[in-house]
Structure formats: structure tokens, C-alpha cells
Amino acid sequence: MPIPTKNIDETNEEFIERCMADDTMVEEYEDDQRLAICSLQLEEERDTNFPTKDEDKKVSLKNSNYPQFDYDYALKLKEDYPSIWKAGGNIRGNDAFMLWGRARDGQETEAITEWIKEREAWIARHYEDGKQFKGDKEPNLSNVGGVVAQIKWGVIGTLGESGMKEVISVLKKKIDNKEDKFINMKNKEIRTFNVQDLELRMDGENPVVVGYGAVFNSESNDLGGFREFIAPGAFEGRLEDDVRFLINHDGLPLARTTNGTLRLSVDEKGLKYEAKLNPNVSTSRDLIELLKDGTINQSSFAFIVEDDSWEVKDGTNYRTINKVSRLYDVSSVTYPAYDAASSSVALRSMQEWQEKEEAKKLEESLEAEKLEGIKEEEDLKQRSLNEMRLRILKNKY
């Protein structure tokens, strides 16, 4: 008596329903027996319904007809160039990358097995994506989606792995050039600190202003939904940047690192600056007088964050700036720069963090539901088998 087999476009639930309703199965077996037999048939289908190599019939990436793309390259692209990553498809593409990573780690859940089969079908349909770049067509964020989607699914398309990487490399250079000119300025932030130990000294005829542009491990005021710390080491590699000493982050520079009139250093307290001013410049003379009488008593710095981290303590969001990628200026300021424009970059970072946390919770919840479903299915199958064995034994004796 032939037992039904699972169709390639059929879900597990659909197969069980069809198998249970099969006329021959209904005639030959009771309900519990049919369920046990159909479940066993489905288990066998999982081991055989996939491209095979030699005698190995296991559903795995190793047995795929399509080799894997460079996972480390894909991961770095995701982390370093989110604009390129977003160009590559929809939510399923992001899910595919997550499942690819789990499959590489050796996980063999039903979700992973089903995704490996889906991957096989997906690349069969999308293998030619990116063929337009075999000619003279230049990649951009509007036309590179097919290649990025192939990377997310962990497959190598018609361009070959080196060709796919070359397309991405060209696009990276374009983005880097644009970011240097525009995006970096868009991401610039400003923070202000009270100068409690401001020092004025003379270097010959030149007045020198000594203070701190940033203070480590000092909790900021409320910046519009979060508070902030600057970690020691945040300015590593930044002391050689072309940094200016300004008033209110504006106007002509009064000192500059490139000509030696502005010196930056880091100690246990924070980012220290020494600005040697030109006494022949009227703005410098005015600043000295205002610093002396305490009219100006705050320092500030303008920067771009390379790496930050977030956490929640007692209901308050806290951001830690771990590394600065660009230092623009240190300034004496007349008022704090905690306005909406200054905090908007950090707020975007906080929103991205919150979205990742929500996605992580959702992923964990879905995975728990999948595991619970698999456990219930296994328990049901085991109970059915046990009951069938008992009936067989009773009929035998």
C-alpha cells in the first residue's frame, strides 16, 4: 500500500492533513495510526527531499547545488555600510542572513532545514541578478539590490564571488566620497562642559588657554530623552586630527593643531587642550578678558561618533561614547549646545538600538515558539507510536 509523499511546495501541516485524509490510509488505519505513519513519512522526507552528493542525503549547506558566499565579508558589509545592506531586498532577506549564520553554526532545527531548502529555490530564480554589471553599467544604491540580496542569502550568482565583491567595492568608494563631503557633517555632534579648572598662562607674549573639551565618565544633563558618558579611550587616534580652537564653534580659528598653536592630550580626567593665542588678534584679547572675569566658563567639542553603546538604568536611557571617528574643534562657548540639532544624531542612534532590542526580543520569542511547536509535535508523535504499539501487542496476545 503506497504511503503519500510530501510535495515540494507543500508545508508540513498541509502534508499531514492530506496524508490523514488519503482514502487508502483511511481504509487501512485508525486515526492515531495514520497520524503516526504520516509523521514518520514526513521525517523521512526531511532527510531526502534535497540535492544529494554521493550517498549523503542530509539537508545541509554542504549538499547545496550553490556554493556559499564569503560570510565574513557579508557580515562586515552589514556592519560598515548599512545603506548598501538596506538596498538588498526586504525583511525576508534580513531573515535569510540570520538563518544562514545559524546554519553555519551547525543548528539543525526545522526552521533552518526549511530555510536551506528555500535558499536552493531562491537562487535558482535569482541566479542572473547582477548580470547588468558585466557591461559598463555603474552600480548605485538603486540598481545593486539583486547582488546584495544574493549576499544576504549567502549564495554566489552569475557574477561570481569576485565579481560581486568588485561591484560592492565600487559602490563603497562612491559612498565614502559622499560621506566625507556631506554625511559626516550631518552626523556631527556637539557637547559642552563647565570649565572648573580653567587656566590662563603666558608663553612669552602669547596668552595660553588651558582647559578640558571633554570629561570622561561624567554623567551629562538630560539631552532630550537620554543621558551620556564619554569613555576613556574615546579619543584614541584623534589627537593628530586637524582641530581648531574656536568661539561657539564658529568664526576664524584662534589656534590650530596643524600649526602647533593648539595642543591636545588625554589624561585621566579627559580631553585636555592648550590653545596659544595671538595677542594681535582682537578676538583673542576679548576672549582672554571674558575668561578672566568668568563671563565665559564653558568648553565644548564637535565630533562624530564611531562607536557607542546603550543601556537602561532605572528607566533612563544611557549612552556611552566609546570611540570618536572625527574631532573637528574645541571651543570656548557662551551657552550649552544641548539643542535639538546637537542631540538628533544621538537620538537616531538610540532609536536604532531600541529597534534592535525589540527585534532581538521578537526573534527570541519566535524561536521559543518554534521550539515549543517542535516539542509538541514530537510528543504527539511519540504518544501515537506508543498507543499503536500497545494496540499491536494487545492484538498479538
How many CB atoms are closer than 10 A to CB 394? 8
Cell of 152: 544576504
Q: Rounded to an integer, what distance in angstroms lies between the CA atom of residue 275 and that of residue 246?
A: 10
Residue 153 is placed in which grid cell?
542569502
Amino acid 333: pLDDT: 85
Q: Answer whether 150's CB lies under 8 Å from 129's CB.
A: yes
The residues, ordered by sequence, that sit 6+ positions from 42 with a Cβ below 8 Å of its Cβ are 6, 12, 15, 16, 19
Specify the residue for cell string 494496540. 391
DSSP state of 27: H
What is the Cα–Cα distance from 17 to 25, expressed in whole angstroms? 12
Residue 397 C-alpha cell reads as 496476545
Tell if the pTM clears 0.95, that is, is over it.
Answer: no
Cell 556559499, located at residue? 68
Residue 228 to residues 19, 115, 257, Cα–Cα distance (Å): 60, 41, 27
Q: Which of helix, strand or coil describes residue 349?
A: helix
User: How many whole angstroms separate alpha carbon 341 and alpha carbon 139?
Assistant: 33
Report, as ranges of residue numbers, the positions in the chain whose pLDDT lies below 70. Answer: 1-2, 6-10, 42-57, 89-91, 178-186, 194-197, 335-351, 392-397
Give the model's pLDDT for residue 394: 66
How high is the pLDDT of residue 372?
78
The Cα 255–Cα 242 span in angstroms is 11
Domain ranges of the chain: 1-49, 71-185, 189-338
Which DSSP string corresponds to 268-328? SSEEEEEEE--TTSHHHHHHHHHHHTTS--EEEEEEEEEEEEEEEETTEEEEEEEEEEEEE
